[in-house]
Structure 1
Amino acid sequence: MTASALAHLPPSGPTELLFLLFHGVGEDASKMTPLAQRLAAEYPQAAVICLNAPDPFEGEGGQGWQWFSPAGLTEASRVERVAAALPRFIAVVRAVQQQFHMGWERTALAGFSQGAVMSLEAVQAEPQLAGRVLAFAGRHATPPAHAPVDTTVHLFHGMTDRVIPPGPAIDSAERLVALGGDVTADVLPHIGHELHPALMDKAIEQLRTFLPKKVWREAMSDAPVISGSASSRDLGH
Structure 2
Amino acid sequence: MKRILFLHGVGSSGGAMRPLAEELDPLPEAFFPDGPAPFDAGQGRQWFSVTGISEANRPERIAAALPDFRQIVARFGDPRESLLVGFSQGAIMALHAVAAGLPAAGVVALSGRLAGPVPLRPDWPPVTLVHGSADPVMPPAIVRATETWLRAAGAEPRLHLFEGLGHGIDAGGLRCCAAFAPNDARKRGGVTPGPLRPGRQRCGLHRTDGRIRITPGDTR
Q: Which TM bucket (shorter chain)?
A: 0.7 to 0.9
Distance apart, 1:207 and its partner CA: 5.4
1:113 aligned partner: 88
What amino acid maps onto 2:23 in structure 1?
A: R
- The answer to whether 1:38 aligns with 2:29 is no
Structure 2 runs not aligned, ≥5 long: 184-220
Greater displacement, 176-185 / 69-78: 176-185
Distance apart, 1:173 and its partner CA: 1.6
Distance apart, 1:147 and its partner CA: 4.1
Greater displacement, 162-171 / 46-55: 162-171
> Which one has the largest radius of gyration?
1
Compared with structure 1, are the counterparts of its residues 114 and 184 closer, same or farther at alpha carbon in structure 2 (3 Å cutoff)? Answer: same
Q: Is the 8 A contact 2:59 2:116 kept in 1?
A: yes
Distance in 2 (CA, whole Å) between partners of 1:127 and 1:34 is 27
Distance in 1 (CA, whole Å) between partners of 2:91 and 2:55 is 16
1:219 aligned partner: none
Q: Is the 8 A contact 2:124 2:154 kept in 1?
A: no
1:21 aligned partner: 6
What amino acid maps onto 2:4 in structure 1?
A: F
Distance in 1 (CA, whole Å) between partners of 2:7 and 2:16 is 9
How many residues of Structure 1 are paired with residues of Structure 2 in the alignment? 183
Distance apart, 1:93 and its partner CA: 0.8
1:12 aligned partner: none
Bigger RCO (CA 8 Å, 6+ sep)? 2
* Percent identity (aligned): 36
1:199 aligned partner: 173
- The answer to whether 1:152 aligns with 2:126 is yes
1:182 aligned partner: 156
CA offset digits 1:146-199 (Å, max 9, x no partner): 246141111000010011112222122233334442311101011101133331
1:54 aligned partner: 36
Compared with structure 1, are the counterparts of its residues 58 and 104 closer, same or farther at alpha carbon in structure 2 (3 Å cutoff)? Answer: closer
More helix by share: 1
Q: TM-score, normalised by structure 2?
A: 0.76
Distance in 2 (CA, whole Å) between partners of 1:161 and 1:208 is 30
Q: Is the 8 A contact 1:25 1:65 kept in 2?
A: yes
Pairwise CA RMSD: 2.0
Q: TM-score, normalised by structure 1?
A: 0.71
Q: Is the 8 A contact 2:73 2:79 kept in 1?
A: no
Q: Is the 8 A contact 1:32 1:50 kept in 2?
A: yes
Compared with structure 1, are the counterparts of its residues 174 and 201 closer, same or farther at alpha carbon in structure 2 (3 Å cutoff)? Answer: same
